[in-house]
A and B are shown apart, each in its own frame.
Chain A
Amino acid sequence: MTEHILRMSGITKTFPGVKALQDVNLSVRRGEIHAICGENGAGKSTLMKVLSGVYPHGDYEGEIFFEGERCEFGGIRDSEHAGIVIIHQELALSPQLSIAENIFLGNERAKRGFIDWNRTNYEAAELMKRVGLRENPTTPISDIGVGKQQLVEIAKALSKEVRLLILDEPTAALNDDDSAHLLDLLRGLRDEGITCVIISHKLNEVTAIADAVTIIRDGRTIETLDMAADAVTEDRIISGMVGRALDNRFPPHEPTIGEEALRVEDWTVYSPSQPDRKVVDSAALTLRRGEIVGLAGLMGAGRTELAMSLFGRTYGVRISGKVFKDGKPVEIRNVQDAINHGLAYASEDRKRYGLNLIEDIKRNISAAGLRGLARRGWVNENEEYRIAEEFHRSMNIKAPSVNSVVGQLSGGNQQKVVLSKWIMTEPDVLILDEPTRGIDVGAKYEIYTIINQLADQGKAVLVISSELPELLGLCDRIYTLSEGRITGEVPRQEATQESLMHLMTKGQE
């Protein structure tokens, strides 16, 4: 028996072109709750995927010791067999099956190939008692709320005789009561001897529950703090998460700020899957011509939801609030309305929402502004080619011709195609959601230059980003969003990573 139940040392994981993890070390003591903190994209989830075998042995460098033994997991089954269970943020439950069936999914209580229903439901009930879930084991998953579904996941983990439980953002989708219950449950499990690793953005929860915290930044371990010995505060964690120097990665820019272009007041959006949960809560913001405005928020804060609900109600239900374009109230019911009012939205997930990957560059560029190329419904294909070729040159899209299929381009070049598409609609307001996600450094600089040019042309730009240095380097003004509410509005001169992070992690009072 060793003091450490888990030791990961020298973990390096490379994706094509990117080092996601670099020499990461993680030691978790037996029977503790160990938090992992870091910005979005710092490498937390990648590390957990390495641990749980999603990236099999050989796919990464470094060593994993679990219970003192060297582990070479080939897949999730291997790690579960060893007693490591990971619960992802998006729950992996089958909504039509009952609680009991879900608990024993893939691990059925059966006798000679036939399900033993009495045993299934009896044992499920026992597990449900352990996690404090008061429901009938035969209730379908779709009939219980997300908080209870989370408990089902934990019960499922317990059924596999878990020794190390990993929870990825377990409270991100929960309300306060459910979160409190979950945290109590984790303390109870710790007392039963189950070690927990929890990834969380909610630093108040981390300081309340964790025994130790490891901070990861840019794919490296920064430090591991013992909560009791080091008297760790939220501030202490934040300085570890953001302690990164701003370097010369941004083109210089002198803004010329003009009239107000878009104003949003009292914007409230409810989640379509949980109709009583506010995803955006009375948000208000103003964008002016020539100005680049940042929107900072951690995962689950409601950034994309705010943007998509504004852009033709493409997300959310029971949307309420007022939108003013150039000072006049406007009603935006669908994407076509949004485009007509001069709005453009480039999604954070360009492969899913931005591009037709099997189509060529020119047709992707013209997809949103096709009507501008058409007379009486007929598209002028030569004009389409000419405009595409113009963007090909001006945006420096690296492809042999505008007839190249978009699916074959690199991330940076795909993003340039998406930007071209929206610039072609001649918008006044551009909302760019994670415009540099998955893009290498050189292409990032080009994208920043394009954004600056757009502002210089008198357009209002709202940049949503997980990378605080990016917002600080690019934006003239930054809003912070936490749990659906705008928690701050800071001019660039006054903003620091620490001050933003404080506002971004500000919980409900």
Chain B
Amino acid sequence: MSSITPADVQVGATGDGGAPRRPGRVSLGGISLNLRSSGIYIAFAAIVVLFSVLTDGALLTPQNISNIIVQNSYVLILAIGMILIIIAGHIDLSVGSVVAVTGALAAVLMVNMGWPWPLALLATLAAGALIGAWQGYWIAYFGIPAFIVTLAGMLLFRALTLTVLGNQGIGPFPDQVRTLANGFTDGYLGNVGLGLLGGADLFSLLIGVVAIAGMFTALWRTRNARKGYGQSVEPMALFVLKAAAGAALILFLVVQLARFKNLPWVLVLLAVLVLAYSLMANRTVFGRQIYAIGGNLQAAVMSGVKVKSVVFWIFVNMGVLAAVAGIIFAGRLNQAGPTAGNSFELDAIAAAFIGGAAVQGGVGKVVGAITGGLIMAVINNGMSLIGSPSERVMLVKGIVLLAAVAFDVWTKRRAGAAR
């Protein structure tokens, strides 16, 4: 309401540590925490701990971790595209149907027409881009709300799937495609003999070590560059603590996976996508413009952002990612089916919102959406491990979604009231 402006933003606080009292922030032993942006990670950790206890540790066994990743990879890939669309203030209801139609196309090209698999893969991705361009045109240039265009797309592309498949599945897929969707890296270097890591795959462990080293270097260089520019950085102890926690997490994951069947290829793909899209969203002009559009459309226009073009391309991107998910889903089942991708759009949208996206747009993170997706995945998996019926799983997921968005609205309202 009123804008008493003034002194609540006075100088006196330095940097991020010891920031002034702001709504949605709690202070833990001098480390201030923005609940709105980091609450999701705390919630994820809590849910993992909860289900580990409830399942007597079954949740974190090597095989189960591997299952969770492989079974949810396609929704996570969709969530990456979806979060960009939601940040821009739009929505895409058609991704489930696009998963189905691109899977069907891949099957027709590879199985029925005998195209070599790399070519068929590229053709399918191109088809996904084309579908995205079709929807992006109506939304960005014709000005129809995304909700309507993609609702129509949901029907259109499901109809197209049924036309192509004629109500039956097509399979089996070439081995390479199945490996991508369902397979694991080979034990190129043999296994570790004994000790704590008993039986773990050496190659996977090496990848893990390289990943950790890469993470350390990147964090260290960022920190030094910031210091070089005279920006305040977090204290050394906190930096080391954070980096060590990240390293421990990666190491735990890799060791567990290495003890099962090595690294799933989809995990590798997912890791690359998450990294690439996070960088894109934060560090490129294009990514920044997505946030600008969602934050204030008119201000973006008046700042020279070519809004139509940006919106068009994020839908093209969504189409491509849906095609990737379509190929992986079909490859995993070894068959393209007419009901493939049913309600995937809802999972992807839920992942984005649980992961901290704002209903009005302008807010959200790729990593957040992935975490949101993982929260749902862990709930699904954990509850089925303890034998909950599916209706109860649905109930819990519904409540979690509502609670996450309610929390977001609540913190925002408190922030507004404090002003």
Contact = CB atoms under 8 A, between A and B. Distances in A.
Is the pairing of A and B real? yes
Contacts of B231: 382, 385, 389
Given A354-B299, A377-B286, A367 B292 contact: yes
A150 interface: no
A394 to B, nearest CB: 15
A381 interface: yes
5 contacts: A335-B301, A353-B302, A359-B295, A374-B285, A400-B9
Interface in A320-371: 334-336, 338-339, 345, 347, 352-359, 363, 366-368, 370-371
A235 to B, nearest CB: 39
Contacts of A385: 226, 229, 231
Given A378-B283, A398-B10, A411-B5, A356 B304 contact: no
A374 B291 contact: no
Given A15-B2, A400-B11, A339 B304 contact: yes
Interface in B1-29: 2-6, 8-16, 19-20
Interface centre among B10, B12, B303, B363 (most CB of A within 10 A): B303
Nearest to B286: A377
Interface string A84-116: 000000000000000000000000000000000
B229 A386 contact: yes
Given A359-B291, A398-B9, A379 B284 contact: yes
Contacts of B306: 334, 336
B419 interface: yes
B292 to A, nearest CB: 6
Given A356-B292, A385-B231, 17 more contacts: A15-B2, A314-B301, A335-B301, A335-B303, A356-B362, A358-B362, A363-B288, A366-B288, A370-B288, A377-B286, A379-B283, A381-B283, A400-B9, A400-B14, A401-B15, A401-B232, A410-B3
B291 A400 contact: no
Contacts of A381: 282-283
Interface in A121-164: none
Given A16-B5, A411-B3, A382 B226 contact: yes
B112 interface: no
Interface of B: 2-6, 8-16, 19-20, 225-226, 228-232, 282-286, 288-289, 291-292, 295-296, 298-306, 358, 362-363, 419
A238 B313 CA distance: 55
A409 B419 CA distance: 9
Given A377-B284, A377-B285, A382-B229, A398 B299 contact: no
Contacts of A16: 2-5
A411 to B, nearest CB: 7
Contact of A354 (B3, B228, B302, B305): B302
A499 interface: no
B258 to A, nearest CB: 34
* 9 nearest CB pairs, A to B: A410-B5, A356-B295, A368-B303, A335-B304, A16-B4, A367-B303, A400-B13, A356-B296, A382-B229
Contacts of A442: none
A404 B285 contact: no
B20 A409 contact: no
A359 B292 CA distance: 8
B19 A400 contact: yes
B92 to A, nearest CB: 22
B295 A357 contact: yes
> What is the interface of chain B mostly: helix, strand, loop, or mixed?
loop
B11 A367 contact: no
B307 to A, nearest CB: 10
A363 B9 CA distance: 18
Contact of A367 (B14, B299, B358): B299
A357 B304 CA distance: 17
Interface residues of A, number: 50
A355 B299 contact: yes
B304 A368 contact: yes
Given A386-B229, A400-B13, A408-B419, A347 B362 contact: no
A408 B229 CA distance: 26
A358 B296 CA distance: 9
Interface string A375-412: 00111011101100100000000111101100111110
A421 interface: yes
A17 interface: yes
Nearest to A418: B299
Contacts of B292: 356, 359, 367
B302 A347 contact: yes
A363 B284 CA distance: 12
Interface centre among A314, A353, A383 (most CB of B within 10 A): A353
A314 B302 contact: yes
A403 B34 CA distance: 13
B16 A403 contact: yes
Nearest to A401: B15
A386 B15 CA distance: 14
Contacts of A352: 296, 298-299
Nearest to A409: B9
Contacts of B289: 370
Contacts of B285: 370-371, 374, 377-379
Contacts of A401: 13-16, 232
Contacts of B16: 401, 403
Interface string A298-315: 000000000000011010
Nearest to B293: A356
B298 A353 contact: yes
Interface in A194-245: none
A403 B32 CA distance: 15
B20 A400 contact: yes
Contacts of B14: 400-401
A31 B295 CA distance: 50
Interface string A486-505: 00000000000000000000
B9 A408 contact: yes
Nearest to A379: B283
Contact of B302 (A15, A345, A359, A363): A345
A357 B292 CA distance: 10
Nearest to A386: B229
A93 B328 CA distance: 53
Nearest to A408: B9
Given A339-B304, A363-B288, A408-B419, A356 B9 contact: no
A308 to B, nearest CB: 9
B411 to A, nearest CB: 12
A366 B289 CA distance: 11
A151 to B, nearest CB: 32
A54 B228 CA distance: 54
A75 B302 CA distance: 36
A358 B299 CA distance: 12
Nearest to A412: B5
A359 B295 CA distance: 7
Nearest to B231: A385
A358 B295 contact: yes
A400 B302 contact: no
Nearest to B289: A370
Nearest to B15: A401
A345 B299 CA distance: 11
A387 to B, nearest CB: 10
A184 B419 CA distance: 48
Interface string A48-64: 00000000000000000
